[in-house]
Amino acid sequence: MRFLLRLASLVALVIAVIAGTVDSIQSVAASDVILTPFGDAWSDLSPSTLSALQSSIAYYIHPWFYDIAMQWVLFQPTFVVFLVISLLLWMVAYRKPPVAGRFTA
């Protein structure tokens, strides 16, 4: 299980680096800071899943949760969202080293 979480963390980190690279290329080309919001990137890739998420959150949790929490997440830069996801997955998969040391009996 820990391996799958670390692999998902790596994938999220790779996506964050790619999104950050795309934003930096666009910023250099426009001579201005351009940060792609997560909602715009998701809408460009798969608008049907975004609307499905909205309807399922409104049905199963509560409609105001989508309005408050999800709208806040969707307006954040894409690379930041994936960096946070990567960090959270890595933290869940982390195992503390033993206190006694590696070579204890």
Read off the DSSP letter of residue 77: B
Question: Can you give the pLDDT at residue 95?
Answer: 84
Grouped pLDDT means (10 residues each) for the chain, 105 residues? 94 96 95 92 92 88 83 92 96 82 66
Kindly tell me the sign of the dihedral angle through the C-alpha atoms of 32, 37, 42, 43.
negative
Q: CA 100 → CA 7, 94, 95, 96, 103, distances in Å?
A: 28, 18, 15, 12, 8
Whole-model pTM: value is 0.81
Domain parsing of the chain, residue ranges: 2-93
